Structure 1
Amino acid sequence: MYLCEQNYIESLRYFIELAYDGQSFHGWQIQPNAESVQEHLEKALSVLLNQELSIVGAGRTDAGVHAKQLFAHFDIEKPIDEKQLVYKLNRFLPNTIGVKRIFSVHDEAHARFDAISRTYEYVISIEKNPFLAAYSYYMARPLSVEKMNQAAVYLIKEADFQCFSKSKTDVYTYFCTIEQAVWEKKEEKLIFTIKANRFLRNMVRAIVGTLLEVGLGKIPPERIQEIIKSKDRGKAGFSVPAQGLFLTEVAYPNRILEKNDK
């Protein structure tokens, strides 16, 4: 795996781009007595590269949440054959985790701290479909997409979003900047897309649950402003189930990819 003809290098940093089906995992992060994506990836890398390695992800996903794109990084002392490692990882890892590519980056590049935005999608099934059950939340009652989009506009700003955060969360700030929040109808599905610089624990699922209450006519769209100002989780709506949530994109500044592009 190593390119032995190269001179010794103190440390090289590599990014991994991967995707996973979250059904069988207790989220991204390693935790005791629970299966995680990070644990599987670290174990596979350590075995294939014949040394103990730790990886840092772009962020955490909760139990049952899926990722169409997530980045992580690891450090190693010698260069690797990137394509060969991708091939071997995909043979070693379970079918629920797929590695798309591995590429070298500047040593200071950080998968978590250098990410400038994350984008999530939440999928609602408006017709009962057994083939979507594991990847969407079925809503039998009619929803007003127009009202949900009216409400979503109030989310697009920099604000304290504590009202949508899981309680007893250890964070340095509840401020996030939401750049996009919109509902679209696609065949028998409603898809909510939300993009921000960062997200709090359970934030997207709480936002979706609150917007569904708008769509059901339980609260008016403009009530979103009051809920945000309250900073009270009890004022917001319910948290929708995890299976409909997908992390779809993690974006980085161009400088992160400069070394890879040369």
Structure 2
Amino acid sequence: MRYFIELSYQGTNYSGWQTQANGTSIQATLSHVLTKRLGKPMYIVASGRTDAGVHARQQFVHLDVDSPLPLSDDFLYSLNCMLPPDIAIHAIFPVRDTDHARFSARSRYYQYHITRHKDAFRQHLTLHFRPELNVEIMNQACEVLLRHRNFRSFSKFRPDVMHYECELTFACWRYTTPGCLTFHIKANRFLWGMVRTIVGTMLEIGQGRLSLERFEELILARDRSQLGAPAPANGLYLVEVGYPDGVLANRPVRDDMD
């Protein structure tokens, strides 16, 4: 039987989603708790691999088990008690054997949060950035971005990546509150380091250090070495994963969501 797990996490203390030889990962932490609670080794697959320090408001993973799980509030509570405070499971529900957390996903939506004012309680959750930004021209850069499909220029090299095509649904910058700026971007898939590199480049554009014409030239060059440093990980969130109708049919309604 296959189950989906819906969870969220603060990525500050982790080396990313994927299990690694050096460093604590979210995948290894969650797998360890599931293995301990269920009494047998558990292997989990996520909708996508977030980088070190990146957060997730919504992430889905799947796991396969030999017998039905006890889907009670007590079972969910016991798992959350075993997990560290910065990882939370919100729901566990059965899916079809053909439903896959990664390959069935049709979209991923990310946000990047920037604040002009230092916040002692959110230092690992937003980027504190003081320079003045021209948000109008940054949104014009988003329009340029949406005209393209190949994002090789924004991706770190990975030997397992077969292509660099991504279908962007939207990209824009919006003020959520005075002094708090958020970048919104949604696509069918994202490349390794893609969103942070886009944000880092957009910040250069917003400061007048990079023209829109040069920005498009860099996209067409398909050469990561021509772009600067990515934005820090602490401001980036995976906020929503989209699936076709039917995949989340058994997902319980969450009472902690607006």
Instruction: Give the alignment of 1:134-173 within 5 angstroms.
Output: 134-157=124-147, 159-173=149-163
Q: Give the Å deviation of 1:166.
A: 1.0
3-state secondary structure, aligned to 1:90:
helix
What is the count of residue pairs matched by the alignment?
250
Q: Quick one: distance in 2 between partners of 1:44 and 1:216?
A: 45
What whole-Å deviation, never above 9, does each CA across 1:207-257 have from its counterpart, x for those lacking one? 001111110001123433211110011233320110010000111001212
Verify the 8 A CA contact 2:112 2:184 in the aligned structure 1: yes
Query: Is 1:216 aligned to residue 207 of structure 2?
Result: yes
Worse-superposed segment, 124-133 or 54-63: 124-133
Other-structure match for 1:70 = 59
What are the equivalent positions in structure 2 for 1:1-262 lying under 5 Å apart?
A: 12-83=1-72, 84-157=74-147, 159-187=149-177, 188-258=179-249
Instruction: State the superposition RMSD in angstroms.
Output: 1.4
Judge conservation of contact 1:205–1:240 (CA < 8 Å) in 2. Answer: yes
Partner letter of residue 90 of structure 1? N
TM-score, normalisation: structure 2: 0.93
Compute the displacement of 1:158 (Å). 5.1
Gaps of 5+ in 1: 1-11
Closer, same or farther: CA 145–260 of 1 in aligned 2, 3 Å: closer
Distance 2:171 2:212 in 1: 14
SS of the residue 1:210 aligns to: helix
C-alpha distance after superposition, 1:187-219 (max 9, x if no partner): 221100100110111000000011111100011
Q: Are the structure 2 counterparts of residues 259 and 243 from structure 1 closer, same or farther at C-alpha, using a change threshold of 3 Å?
A: closer
Contact 1:183–1:191 (Cα < 8 Å) also in 2: yes
Q: 1:33 to 1:117 in 2, by over 3 A?
A: same
**Equivalent residue of 2:169, what SS?**
strand
Give the match's secondary structure for 2:80.
helix
**1:207–1:237 Cα contact (<8 Å) kept:** no
1:6: which partner in 2? none
Paired amino acid for 1:39: A
* Structure 2: runs of 5 or more not aligned: 253-258
TM-score (norm 1): 0.91
Between the aligned partners of 1:241 and 1:70, the Cα distance in structure 2 is 20
The amino acid across from 1:61 in the alignment is: T
Structure 1 residue runs of 4 or more that deviate by more than 6 Å after TM superposition: none
The alpha carbon displacement at 1:33 in A equals 2.2
Aligned partner of residue 175 in structure 1, secondary structure:
coil
> What SS does structure 2 have at the residue aligned with 1:46?
helix
Structure exhibiting the larger radius of gyration computed from Cα positions: 1
C-alpha separation between the residues in 1 aligned to 2:246 and 2:148?
A: 25
Percent identity, aligned pairs only, is 44
